[in-house]
Structure 1
């Protein structure tokens, strides 16, 4: 849709209220035993299993894809009574040059391959080169593209420039889904976070995402709450449902439950499905598997008993 300033200009965000609301979520909603296990299994479905390291190789990506196909060990699935369930992660996310390896390894599984692009993580490249990177990744088979915005546009509140940039990226993605990474740790204020979220959605983002995982501050519950409220306001105004992806800094299984509680309370049950919610938290998957084994056996297993992602 065209840039519509009236949807966010002058929209105040009360930081203290957002922090209080976020702080109450874990305290007011505690799930235990079988219910906790069910929430953790659902979290697995929403994980974007990711490797974005400078020393990535085809072998590492193939190993990651094997974990994506079978994220929880069969003995644990049997113990949970889910032996017949085809449980897999939401997507595998890699750098553009690793896309062909991931596509080949996941062929026939239905697991989408996501690629970062547009000069990830800083995004400080000429726009035409960033668009070519998107087009290259899509041509190699990427089903989803995680783009990064130019933070300067937000800091200068040049909303038209931000809208034009994201719209061009949306067009370059073609049929691939586009997740717009806002790098919220760089945006200074929650008001900027709300406005950037709105502009990204107006420009055609299918998901809005908190962070690259490379900023000093990544996903936090107060920032996520502001983005989710923007999602809700945008949906009420337009009738369109946009997805949400927190990323960076999440390691513990209990955090997976906390974020799902946030989504359910603010947006409803539909946002507990991978088409509208993803975690960018690969290391968290290991702790989820560990907690599920404890639920089944009553013991915490040694780390060597869980395949590394």
Structure 2
């Protein structure tokens, strides 16, 4: 990953000046969705890029060591070898960006990846995911335990109450402490935008999270009723750009929740490229949080190579 964002002093004056023009945001999001997407070999290349940006995720109540094992195998070989060989990409080391699991499954994932001789990172959600409604001390301890078990990335959730009641100082301090608890592990801060209301609040929460030292800001837990949407991504991307112009520090972006089709992943990459530039279409600054997306991307690659669509049972499950 790139140099980390060290954060900065909380600048409440900057936060209070924020105003977001809703109509302009919606118009921009529509423009990006209306773009013609790449075709043929360019589409295959972009889809493989999308694969390398996926945090392959399982966050279910019935997760067991065996389905985490299967997820890890899929992450290390996300696209069938014969398809990659046809594209002359079989020796390029294509894997997903990380495997994302609950804290209690981190040790399993680390063990399986080690056994597979893979250097793939394990990401863990923490801090009372998905609601974040547990005492701060409990949330911080959860981060420490996940890092102790070998998680190299931590996806924390913010305390939405603090954002909704504009307690920016308190939110900043909580995220700062989470960053400390992460140690060397990279921290992705989930804003749960579906529960934050207006775009202005989303923008302010994004700024505060970056000032507090987040390496990434992430849209959603995937458990809210509204998850990653393009308008919200435009708002968060503009906050990332402003923060970069002000501080020189690059913060990554991760949409999550409801991203299921290969076409979706191309629109997300286009949005990153247009709003933030080429570097934000790389895994060190862009991640897609997804559990079912990979299956559709692999089907599209299969179609590109063979001219027909595979039945789902012809491709290995994640």
Which interval holds the TM-score relative to the shorter structure? over 0.9
1:18 aligned counterpart, secondary structure: helix
Normalising by structure 2, report the TM-score: 0.96
In 2, Cα distance between equivalents of 1:36 and 1:43:
10
SS in 2 for 1:2: coil
Q: What secondary structure sits across from 2:288 in the alignment?
A: coil
- Structure 2 residue ranges without an equivalent (≥5): 1-7
Give the total of aligned pairs. 309
Q: CA deviation at 1:273?
A: 1.0
Match of residue 54 from structure 1: 61
Aligned partners of 1:61 and 1:102 also within 8 Å? yes
Which residue matches 1:76?
Answer: 83
Q: TM-score, normalised by structure 1?
A: 0.99
| Structural RMSD (CA) | 0.8
Q: Deviations 1:38-68 (Å, cap 9, x if unpaired)?
A: 1100000000000000000001101000000
Partner Cα separation in structure 1 for residue 121 and residue 14 of structure 2: 33
Structure 1, unmatched stretches of 5+, are none
State the alpha-carbon separation in 2 of the partners of residues 271 and 115 from structure 1: 22
Contact 1:94–1:116 (CA<8 Å) still a contact in 2? yes
The corresponding residue for 1:201 is 210
* Pair 1:3 & 2:10 matched: yes
CA–CA separation in structure 1 for the residues paired with 2:179 and 2:237: 21
Instruction: Output the CA distance in 2 between the equivalents of 1:286 and 1:15.
Output: 34
Where does residue 159 of structure 1 map in the other structure? 168
Partner of 2:110: 103
Q: For 1:71-150, what aligned pairs fall within 5 Å after superposition?
A: 71-107=78-114, 108-150=117-159
Whether the 8 Å contact between 1:117 and 1:134 is mirrored in structure 2 is yes
**Distance of 1:179 and 1:262 partners within structure 2:** 19
Which among 284, 308, 312 is matched to residue 299 of structure 1? 308
* CA–CA separation in structure 2 for the residues paired with 1:246 and 1:200: 15
Task: Answer whether contact 1:29 1:261 (CA < 8 A) is retained.
Answer: no
Q: 1:276 aligns with which of 276, 281, 285?
A: 285
The separation in 2 between residues aligned to 1:45 and 1:238, in whole angstroms, is 28
How far is the alpha carbon of 1:203 from its aligned partner?
A: 0.5
Aligned counterpart in structure 2 of residue 41 of structure 1, from 27, 48, 51: 48
Match of 1:215 in 2: 224
Are 1:172 and 2:181 an aligned pair? yes
